[in-house]
Structures are given as structure tokens and as C-alpha cells.
């Protein structure tokens, strides 16, 4: 892919250091923008497109006198200004993660390639290749970095933490989307929201903000969720909450199968489906009984959990039939000296000590993170981006400071934004949802998404759920990458 013309290089040098304050008014500086016109081939279609990494300054009021936040995005659009062309607004999760994972992993015109077989990405240089399956031929792409991620920061008298919460975050990102639509005169464009992981909370919450918020109502054509966390009751292992054990067991099963801990003549997917049936029809009711379960039934359920999970029956009994994900990751291959990955349980790695309850790290994250960070910076440099402060790919401080409860009202409870999806379906006959997930995902397992769909008034006829033989970032697996982009393109078209 050749660069044709440098349309806009640097309008303003964002040269202040990371800890220096950003100027507080529009008069102090113009928003930063870096752009190039490029060419690519997507789904067999040759086309020019405009690549931009730029800043949008949001304001508290329409008078543009009180700056609120500086939002940076990476945008890819057709050079033909078509107001009816679809647009996909893209973000990752965390909370505290920038958009580089979806951006550089699957959606952008260039993507980084890590080993598809769950082996380590090693040291640089990493492979950055043309993405001929990018949906840029059918839609414009806007990759958003929320406040506290990427280069995006609060402005004026505001602090980043003001935007770190379920409702606060969705309101701010929705404000950017409204502003983008207004600035680009795209009111009649089909609009899609694509979120990964915590993006499965941000996306549905944005539906409420955009469709029923205080300002102009904006309908969304479709929601695309990758490995979503949408109802936290299904993924939070806490005393008295049995839902995660039901949702995680099928992923334990395929992980054990993959690592050779299961003796069966069934195929992987046959075994996976059988594990789902056991989980919802037998395991769930048994756990609900709590201490009322009989000794005989407990013994029988322990036998079956052991069979499907590859763990010893004694370990299952010692866990009171409730094996959390961290314990499973540490125990499954303990006799071989390994623990398995969280984001992708195909990965395995050696801990400093074989004993203990928790793995030293998520070996799957270690297996690809460096490649993504390196690729993102290489690509931004190629565009001509020159920003002096650090690009925050993720931020643990943000995750620890996240406000999960203050905006929920009433008694504290698990965050569950899935009802927003059901409401959008009831109020918009065209609204639809595509969910893609990996069966080796021990962060947000596929079966937890299935259970969420069936519990929140969602029309299952307008849901497309695809389970792929990969992990949380299922696009790291080449066959899954191909399937996802093929289905996404059809979903948008």
C-alpha cells in the first residue's frame, strides 16, 4: 500500500509534556490533526481513503467557552463524501483500554499479525500487513480513545476521573458521537457501534444516551459486540453468586479438551455443546440448592464437573462445586508445571512456583500485547502523528478508580446494561445485534453472553451470535479473523 498525498500534516504541535496542563480554551490553540490520503484494496475493491488521527475538543455548553475534554480518534473514511455511507464507531474496553486492539487487530487497513496458534509474539520487529478484509469498502471507521486512554484527557478545570464511571463514560463518548455526526453532516448515515469486552457495557449504555438522552435523539442501526461483558453478574465470582460457574463451565471444558485432559470420542464442538447442556440443566439447579443439596447429588455433580473440566473430583469437592476461573487456570495443568491464559486459554506458561492458587500473570496477554503497542506507534508514525506525551494503551489507575455504582440508583447491584438492548429492539424495528466471541475466552466466556441474551427481554431473532475457536481477542486466530470480518461486512451491508 503506497502513500499518495500528505493532505494535512501538523496543524499544531501538541508538544507539551504528559504532566503539563492542556490549554483551557478554544482560543489557546486549534485541535490537532494529522492526515494522509492512501489507497488500499478491501474485499477486492480498490479505493482511495483518508487516514486521520485527530483531536476533538468537547465543551460543557454550546457557547464553546468551557472546554470539557480532548478526545483523540483514528479515522478511516472514503475520500468521496457520501452522507448516506455507513459509519462504525469503534472502542475497546477495560475499562481503561484504548482502541488499539480492535484498530490494529482487525478493523484497520493495516493490522499486526501475531501467531495464530497461541504461541508467543516474541520480540520486535513485528509483522504489520495490509488488511484486505477491512470493512472500509462498506463503511467509514472511527476508532475512539475515551478520556484517560490514548492521548485523550480532561481539559480546563476538569479531571480525568470525572469521566471514569459507567454512566459518565458513556455520556462523554456519546457526546463525541453527536459532535462527529454534526461536524460531518452524517445525520442520515447508517450508524453502528462496535465495542469489545467492557465495550459490551459502554455500547448498550450509549444506546440509552443517544436514543433517549437529554439532547438530540439518534437512532442506531446496529450494535456489534466482541467478547462482551454486558451483565456483570455472569462474570463476577463473588460469594452467593452462582451465575459465573454456569457460564464458565463450557469454556473449562473446551480448554481441558484442547490441552489433552479429556478422554472422549466426541469432537471438540460436540463436547462443548454437551457441556452447555449439563451446565444449564444440571449444574445451575444444583448450585442453587446451596447447602440443601444431598450428599449423593453433590457427589454426582462433582463427578460431572470433573469430567467436563479435566480437574480432579477431589479438587471440585474441595471447591464446593464452585471452581472460579483463576483456580481453574492454575489447577488444570499444575501437574505439568503450567497455568493457562485468561484472555485465551490455549496459551500456557510456567509460573515461578507451581504451588499456590493464582497464576503469576495472564500468559496470553503477555503473548501478544507488545506486538500491538509497537504496531500502533509504528502506524501512527507512518501517518505523521507527532505527539510528545505517552499514548496510554491501558491504565490500571483508571480501572481501580472506575465508578461502578453511584449512577445506578437504589441499592448497589451488578451492572447490567442488557435491558437497553431489549428496549432498543422494542422501539426500533430495524435495530439488530451481532455478537462474536471466542470459546477459549476465560475473561468473558461465550456462554455468559448466551445467558445474558436470554434473560433481558432481547429478541433472539435479531441477534446473530457466532462462537469462534479462539480467545477473547478472537481475531488473533486467523480463521476466526476471516469469519468475523466476513460476517461483520454482511451485517453492515
Residues 384, 356 share a domain: no
Listed residue (470, 253, 254, 225) closest to 364, CA to CA: 470
CA distance 73 to 56: 8
Residues 348, 292 share a domain: yes
Q: Please tell me which residue, 359 or 2, carries the higher pLDDT value.
A: 359
Give the least confident one: 53-67, 101-115, 124-138, 262-276.
53-67
**What pLDDT is attached to residue 3?**
37
Given a cut of 70, whether residue 177 has pLDDT beyond it is yes
Confidence category of residue 467, pLDDT binned at 50, 70, 90: very high
What Cα–Cα distance (Å) separates residue 390 from each residue in 29, 316, 373, 386, 409?
A: 20, 45, 12, 11, 36
**What pLDDT is attached to residue 9?**
33
Residues 206, 103 share a domain: yes
Q: Is 366 helix (H, G, I), strand (E, B) or coil?
A: helix
Given a cut of 90, whether residue 2 has pLDDT beyond it is no
**What pLDDT is attached to residue 29?**
66
How much of the chain, in percent, has pLDDT values that exceed 90?
A: 77
Q: Please tell me which residue, 290 or 6, carries the higher pLDDT value.
A: 290
Residues 114, 10 share a domain: yes
Confidence category of residue 62, pLDDT binned at 50, 70, 90: low
Whether the CB-CB separation of 242 and 287 falls below 8 Å is answered with yes
Given a cut of 90, whether residue 318 has pLDDT beyond it is yes
**What pLDDT is attached to residue 449?**
97
Q: Can you tell me the mean pLDDT for 303-316? A: 98
How does DSSP assign 260-285, residue by residue? Answer: T----SS-HHHHHHHHHHHIIIIIHH
Its domain, for residue 347, covers: 239-364
Given a cut of 90, whether residue 212 has pLDDT beyond it is no
Q: Can you tell me the mean pLDDT for 472-481? A: 96
**What pLDDT is attached to residue 398?**
87
Mean pLDDT for all residues in the chain? 90
User: How far is residue 124 CA from its own chain's centroid?
Assistant: 25
**What pLDDT is attached to residue 51?**
96
Give the burial class of 17: count Cβ atoms within 10 A of its Cβ; 0-12 exposed, 13-18 middle, 19 or more buried: exposed
Number of structural domains found in the chain: 2
Q: Can you tell me the mean pLDDT for 200-219? A: 89
Residues 214, 113 share a domain: yes
CA distance 180 to 170: 15
**What pLDDT is attached to residue 12?**
34
Kindly state the cell numbers that stand for 49.
481513503
Residues 338, 191 share a domain: no
Give tens-digit pLDDT for 242-266.
999 999 999 999 999 999 999 999 9
Residues 467, 359 share a domain: no
Which bin fits 114, alpha (ψ -120 to 50), beta or left (φ > 0)? beta
Residues 294, 179 share a domain: no
**What pLDDT is attached to residue 368?**
84
Residues 98, 151 share a domain: yes
Q: Please tell me which residue, 327 or 389, carries the higher pLDDT value.
A: 327
Q: Mark which of 338, 364, 390 sits at the end of a domain.
A: 364
- Cβ-count burial 77-88 (b if 16+ within 10 Å, e if not): bbeeeeeebbbb
Residues 421, 328 share a domain: no
Given a cut of 70, whether residue 233 has pLDDT beyond it is yes
Q: Mark which of 364, 382, 410 sits at the end of a domain.
A: 364
Q: Is 141 helix (H, G, I), strand (E, B) or coil?
A: strand
Q: Mark which of 308, 331, 364 sits at the end of a domain.
A: 364
Q: Can you tell me the mean pLDDT for 61-74? A: 85
Supply the CATH number for residue 466's domain: 3.40.50.1820
Whether the CB-CB separation of 104 and 376 falls below 8 Å is answered with yes
**What pLDDT is attached to residue 21?**
45
**What pLDDT is attached to residue 27?**
45
**What pLDDT is attached to residue 228?**
97
Kindly state the cell numbers that stand for 403.
465508578
User: How far is residue 351 CA from its own chain's centroid?
Assistant: 27
Q: Please tell me which residue, 174 or 215, carries the higher pLDDT value.
A: 174
**What pLDDT is attached to residue 313?**
98
CA distance 345 to 333: 11
Give tens-digit pLDDT for 356-411.
888 988 888 887 888 999 999 999 999 999 888 889 887 778 888 899 886 666 66
Residues 354, 378 share a domain: no
Angle, CA of 90, 222 and 376, to the nearest 5°: 15
Residues 69, 54 share a domain: yes
How much of the chain, in percent, has pLDDT values that exceed 70?
A: 91
CA distance 388 to 485: 34
Given a cut of 70, whether residue 63 has pLDDT beyond it is no
Amino acid at each position: 500500500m503506497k502513500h499518495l498525498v500528505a493532505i494535512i500534516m501538523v496543524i499544531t504541535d501538541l508538544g507539551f509534556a504528559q504532566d503539563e496542563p492542556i490549554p483551557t480554551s478554544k482560543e489557546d490553540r486549534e485541535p490537532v490533526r494529522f492526515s494522509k490520503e492512501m489507497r488500499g484494496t478491501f474485499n477486492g475493491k480498490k479505493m482511495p481513503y483518508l487516514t486521520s488521527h485527530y483531536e476533538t475538543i468537547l465543551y460543557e455548553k454550546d457557547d464553546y467557552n468551557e472546554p470539557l475534554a480532548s478526545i483523540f480518534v483514528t479515522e478511516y473514511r472514503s475520500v468521496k463524501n457520501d452522507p448516506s455511507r455507513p459509519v462504525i464507531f469503534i472502542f475497546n474496553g477495560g475499562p481503561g483500554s484504548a482502541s488499539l486492539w480492535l484498530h490494529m487487530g482487525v478493523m484497520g487497513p493495516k493490522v499486526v499479525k501475531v501467531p495464530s496458534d497461541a504461541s508467543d509474539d516474541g520480540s520486535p520487529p513485528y509483522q504489520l500487513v495490509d488488511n484486505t478484509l477491512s470493512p472500509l469498502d462498506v463503511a467509514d471507521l472511527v476508532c475512539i480513545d475515551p478520556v484517560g486512554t490514548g492521548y485523550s484527557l480532561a481539559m480546563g478545570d476538569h479531571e480525568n476521573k470525572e469521566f471514569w464511571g459507567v454512566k459518565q463514560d458513556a455520556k462523554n463518548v456519546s457526546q463525541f458521537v453527536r459532535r462527529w455526526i454534526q461536524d460531518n453532516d452524517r445525520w442520515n448515515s447508517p450508524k453502528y457501534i462496535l465495542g469489545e469486552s467492557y465495550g459490551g457495557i459502554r455500547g448498550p449504555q450509549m444506546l440509552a444516551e443517544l436514543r433517549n438522552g437529554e439532547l438530540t435523539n439518534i437512532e442506531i442501526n446496529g450494535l456489534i459486540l466482541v467478547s462482551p461483558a454486558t451483565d456483570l453478574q455472569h462474570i463476577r465470582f463473588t460469594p452467593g453468586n452462582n451465575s459465573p460457574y454456569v457460564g464458565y463451565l463450557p469454556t473449562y471444558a473446551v480448554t481441558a479438551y484442547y490441552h489433552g485432559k479429556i478422554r472422549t470420542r466426541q469432537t471438540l464442538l460436540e463436547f462443548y455443546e454437551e457441556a452447555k447442556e449439563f451446565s444449564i440443566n444440571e449444574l445451575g439447579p444444583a448450585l442453587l440448592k446451596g447447602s440443601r443439596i444431598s450428599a449423593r447429588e453433590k457427589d454426582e455433580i462433582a463427578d460431572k464437573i470433573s469430567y467436563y473440566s479435566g480437574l480432579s473430583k477431589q479438587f471440585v469437592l474441595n471447591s464446593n462445586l464452585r471452581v472460579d476461573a483463576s483456580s481453574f487456570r492454575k489447577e488444570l495443568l499444575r501437574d505439568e508445571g503450567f497455568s493457562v491464559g485468561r484472555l485465551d486459554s490455549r496459551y500456557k506458561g510456567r509460573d515461578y512456583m507451581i504451588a499456590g492458587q493464582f497464576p503469576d500473570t495472564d500468559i496470553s496477554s503477555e503473548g501478544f500485547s507488545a506486538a500491538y503497542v509497537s504496531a500502533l506507534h509504528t502506524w501512527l508514525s507512518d501517518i505523521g502523528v507527532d505527539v510528545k506525551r505517552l499514548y496510554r494503551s491501558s491504565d490500571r489507575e483508571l480501572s481501580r478508580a472506575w465508578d461502578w455504582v453511584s449512577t445506578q440508583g437504589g441499592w448497589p447491584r451488578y451492572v447490567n446494561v442488557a435491558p437497553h438492548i431489549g428496549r432498543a429492539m422494542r422501539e426500533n424495528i430495524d435495530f439488530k445485534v451481532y455478537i462474536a466471541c471466542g470459546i477459549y475466552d476465560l475473561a468473558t466466556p461465550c456462554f455468559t453472553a448466551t445467558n445474558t441474551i436470554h434473560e433481558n427481554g432481547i429478541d433472539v431473532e435479531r441477534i446473530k451470535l457466532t462462537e469462534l475457536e479462539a480467545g477473547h481477542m478472537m481475531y488473533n486466530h486467523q480463521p476466526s479473523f476471516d469469519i468475523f470480518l466476513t460476517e461483520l461486512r454482511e451485517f453492515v451491508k
